[in-house]
Structure 1
Amino acid sequence: MGRPGSSSRPGDDAVSLHTQPGDRFLDDDAPELQVDDLPPLYDDVAGPQDDSAPLLSAPPAAIPPFAGMVDYHQKDANTGSEFYLNHRLDTQPKLLEQHVNYWALLPPRPYVRLHGTHSQEVDNNGKKERKKVTDFDVQVELTPYLFSDPVSRAAFRELRTVENSEKTRRGTVLRKRAPGSTQSIEVGLPDKPTLEEWCHRYQASHAGVKCFSVHRRMTGFDQEKVKQKLEALVRDTNYRGHLEVSFPVKDEYVHVYNDCKTNRWRLTAWIVWLSILTLTFLFTWPYLFFRTKRFEVVTADWAFSVMGEDGRRKYVSISEDQLYNLWGRAIHRAVLEKRQCTLDQQDLIAAEGAPPVFGNAVVDGAMGFLRAGVSAMNEVNRQLGWGGDC
């Protein structure tokens, strides 16, 4: 297995090559939105299938359940990072390899986030202070577009180990290249270790505190292009505040810690909070940092697009332009409504079609009056500007 975009590529049946012109918001050539074409919610996607991993060398074996075992599993509510502590993963390299193959079948959850803020002067008991106010905080999840077919989970994904020339933690505290990676081509470069070899190295390490990590990431996505389009979209509403367009990723890391008292304590919630409240983390954090030997040598690359043999990008599902045309109206509307949420299919429908009718003349009349008032305020904001510091 090599780097993404190498000669190892999936077949033509694993990717959609349909492209669409149009770089502008509300492009005239943008396709009409059909309910059947809406991207699925992440929770609606079926579980992993063994026969739809075109860039994995082989399907993973069945994973023994953790339930009923004296093990530890925790998932960070904010980042989605997972933490495992299991003595069997410390002593059985083949079992660890099977788990890594399984974790690689689960995608990262990338988002595009638009966060608008302004500062406002407030009176706090006679003292003037400046307060940061959120105008809007809108997110769109990109996970559905990592699949060419979400039902069968067909995707461009590749499980790879780090190259010898890459700087990373190889059972060390600090990042470094592999020994001998600076040799000249004439001498010959050593082959990089396989996943199986790294699992054996992790098991054979005599470090008292160690961690084996799997990194899931999205590749082949032009963040700068999407960022520029979305910034222009928001500024077209005459927004004068501070705008940040970012691309956070959830479910990005899986960490396996070896079974020892130090790792059990570091993963115990009340001990962590006690360390924070008593400020002992000022001493425990440096200790844990220099004590833990980390293996950050495995990456699961999920491609948004790959480079074809003809030098052109081939997209798994849609291009950045199509993504912008699909979500532009919904994002535009959510920003003007000053929402703080993650947009979904209902927002696409609401942005494209007419508002729903409730079947009651009084209710429909009131809702129409409310919508007219909101639209009027949005139009005034668009013309005169909004969201500036005050």
Structure 2
Amino acid sequence: MGKPDGKVADDAVSLRTNPGESSRATYSDNDDLDIPETAIDDLPPNYTESESLLPPPDAQTAAPGSGLAMAQTPFVEDAMRFNDLNTGAQYWMAKSLESPANLERHIRHLAAIPPRPYIKLVGTHIETTRDSKGKMEKNTITDFDVSIELTPYLYSDAQYRRSWDYIRTVENGEKVRRGTIFRKRAPGSNQSIEVGGVPKPTLQEWCHRYSASHAGLKVFALQRRMTGFDEEHVKRKLRELVNRTNYRGHLKVELVTKDSLIECYNEARINKWRLTTWIQMLFTFTLLFIFSWPYLWLRTKRWEVVVSEWPFSRIADDGTKQYVSISEDQWFNMWGRAISSAVLRKRQALLDQTDLRRAEEPEPTFESGNSTVDGAVGLFRAGISAMDEVNRHLGWGGDC
């Protein structure tokens, strides 16, 4: 996601109002994973939990910071919404969105909802076997697939939707689609405003340009982004964490962002067809997409000019780095034990607060009153612990 540049564009509009807000220092920032008990009790809520903390306000009167609640109902009555279940992308189509005022309000409405970034760790190994005919086969086996959501840490107070997010339009020097098929810079972008350059258009101006276009197929896009997150630093620490378990398979650590793309299409029969699932599947299976994709690509004019940025951190005027909630090291110290435990248990799951608390709590005792049952439970736990220790010392997950 990149590091923050420390400056916010002049036309950037904050979607939150947090006067006097400062970064909280709740968690210990040590490399030995020493986590204070208060850290576990003061965790931000899950994304899904935070949706129910406030009642859904009316979209017209919702206060700044209530973005998740605002999104529960469509902003425009005639809207058709299509969702990509894999990426979380949303595609909207409504005749009313061809009005510049409605389009601007709709974009601001959706920009108040955060992206959903995840840290994902996947471990695999290659297993070679013989089939019934004696032929060698290689199969990829997934050892673990663990994800942790970062969305709660984009808020300084998730319950009241306090964050540092803002909406901005692209700079003249950025290569993006500006009502065009190809990406390009704005005319005269090599000149600064001081020497006669044209200032970049505002969101309102871009909405008017979109509405004034006579293109038969057109799309107005919004990108939601997490900024100020040191992705490479976190990846490096997670790789070191997994390597300390003596894992010998193929490890992939990546940052995956869902709910990042919003596209508003003009009302047209072809646009409705291109977003209908069964039509997409029909064109895929019959290979008609070979002909339809170039046609759609050449006919569709795209405006990719608006960005909703959600800072994980930012650079203050005095040059110091400020975090909206916790730092990357604090996040790692908080989640390190839970991730290590999930990897050793070969889990394939999204970790949540339950996993975080369980990693910090001692193993619960079980006494049934029956010595035979208690002995069996004790042997089972001892066997799991022994397997973990053997894996740590001798290695596990290698190709075979």
Query: What is the TM-score with the length of structure 1 in the denominator?
Result: 0.90
Match of 1:116 among 123, 143, 149: 123
CA drift of 1:263 comes to 0.4
Instruction: Find the aligned partners of 2:310 and 2:146 in 1 and give their Cα distance.
Output: 24
Identity %: 51
- Distance of aligned partners of 1:96 and 1:149 in 2 relative to their CA distance in 1, 3 Å threshold: same
Match of 1:39 among 36, 41, 44: 44
- Distance of aligned partners of 1:42 and 1:186 in 2 relative to their CA distance in 1, 3 Å threshold: closer
Unaligned runs of 5+ in 2: none
Unaligned runs of 5+ in 1: none
Could you say which residue in structure 1 is the equivalent of 2:8?
6
Instruction: Find the aligned partners of 2:278 and 2:392 in 1 and give their Cα distance.
Output: 49
- Distance of aligned partners of 1:319 and 1:35 in 2 relative to their CA distance in 1, 3 Å threshold: closer
Tell me the matched-pair count.
379
Tell me which moved more, 347-356 or 310-319. Answer: 347-356
Q: Does 1:298 align with 2:300?
A: no
Could you say which residue in structure 2 is the equivalent of 1:373?
383
Runs of 4+ in 1 over 6 A off after TM superposition: 7-10
Instruction: Find the aligned partners of 1:292 and 1:367 in 2 and give their Cα distance.
Output: 64
Q: Does 1:346 align with 2:354?
A: yes
Q: Classify the secondary structure of the residue corresponding to 2:195.
A: coil
Contact 2:221 2:263 in 1 (8 A): yes
- Distance of aligned partners of 1:388 and 1:186 in 2 relative to their CA distance in 1, 3 Å threshold: same
Instruction: Find the aligned partners of 2:231 and 2:306 in 1 and give their Cα distance.
Output: 24
- Distance of aligned partners of 1:365 and 1:330 in 2 relative to their CA distance in 1, 3 Å threshold: farther
Q: Classify the secondary structure of the residue corresponding to 2:92.
A: strand
Let me know the Cα RMSD of the aligned residues.
2.6
Instruction: Find the aligned partners of 1:161 and 1:367 in 2 and give their Cα distance.
Output: 61
Could you say which residue in structure 1 is the equivalent of 2:340?
332
Match of 2:138 among 130, 140, 146: 130
Could you say which residue in structure 2 is the equivalent of 1:148?
156
Q: Classify the secondary structure of the residue corresponding to 2:397.
A: coil
**Structure 1: which amino acid aligns with 2:23?**
S
Instruction: Find the aligned partners of 1:148 and 1:206 in 2 and give their Cα distance.
Output: 44
Contact 2:245 2:395 in 1 (8 A): yes
**Structure 2: which amino acid aligns with 1:105?**
A
Per-residue deviation, residues 297-347 of structure 1 (Å, max 9, x unmatched): 000000001101111110000001100000000000000001011000110
**Structure 2: which amino acid aligns with 1:196?**
Q
Instruction: Find the aligned partners of 1:312 and 1:227 in 2 and give their Cα distance.
Output: 23
Match of 1:313 among 317, 321, 345: 321
- Distance of aligned partners of 1:249 and 1:366 in 2 relative to their CA distance in 1, 3 Å threshold: farther
Q: Classify the secondary structure of the residue corresponding to 1:213.
A: strand
- Distance of aligned partners of 1:12 and 1:313 in 2 relative to their CA distance in 1, 3 Å threshold: farther
- Distance of aligned partners of 1:184 and 1:219 in 2 relative to their CA distance in 1, 3 Å threshold: closer
Q: Classify the secondary structure of the residue corresponding to 1:151.
A: helix
Q: Does 1:78 align with 2:86?
A: yes
Instruction: Find the aligned partners of 2:163 and 2:192 in 1 and give their Cα distance.
Output: 37
CA drift of 1:76 comes to 1.3
Tell me which moved more, 223-232 or 183-192. Answer: 183-192
Contact 1:146 1:303 in 2 (8 A): yes
Could you say which residue in structure 2 is the equivalent of 1:104?
111
Query: What is the TM-score with the length of structure 2 in the denominator?
Result: 0.88
Could you say which residue in structure 1 is the equivalent of 2:393?
383
CA drift of 1:365 comes to 5.3
CA drift of 1:110 comes to 0.4
Q: Does 1:282 align with 2:290?
A: yes
Instruction: Find the aligned partners of 1:219 and 1:379 in 2 and give their Cα distance.
Output: 39
- Distance of aligned partners of 1:7 and 1:164 in 2 relative to their CA distance in 1, 3 Å threshold: closer
Q: Does 1:93 align with 2:95?
A: no
**Structure 2: which amino acid aligns with 1:133?**
I
- Distance of aligned partners of 1:366 and 1:257 in 2 relative to their CA distance in 1, 3 Å threshold: farther
Tell me which moved more, 98-107 or 348-357. Answer: 348-357
Per-residue deviation, residues 254-313 of structure 1 (Å, max 9, x unmatched): 111111111011011111111011011111112212221111000000000110111111
Instruction: Find the aligned partners of 1:165 and 1:87 in 2 and give their Cα distance.
Output: 32
Q: Classify the secondary structure of the residue corresponding to 2:160.
A: coil
Instruction: Find the aligned partners of 1:7 and 1:175 in 2 and give their Cα distance.
Output: 21
Contact 1:14 1:155 in 2 (8 A): no
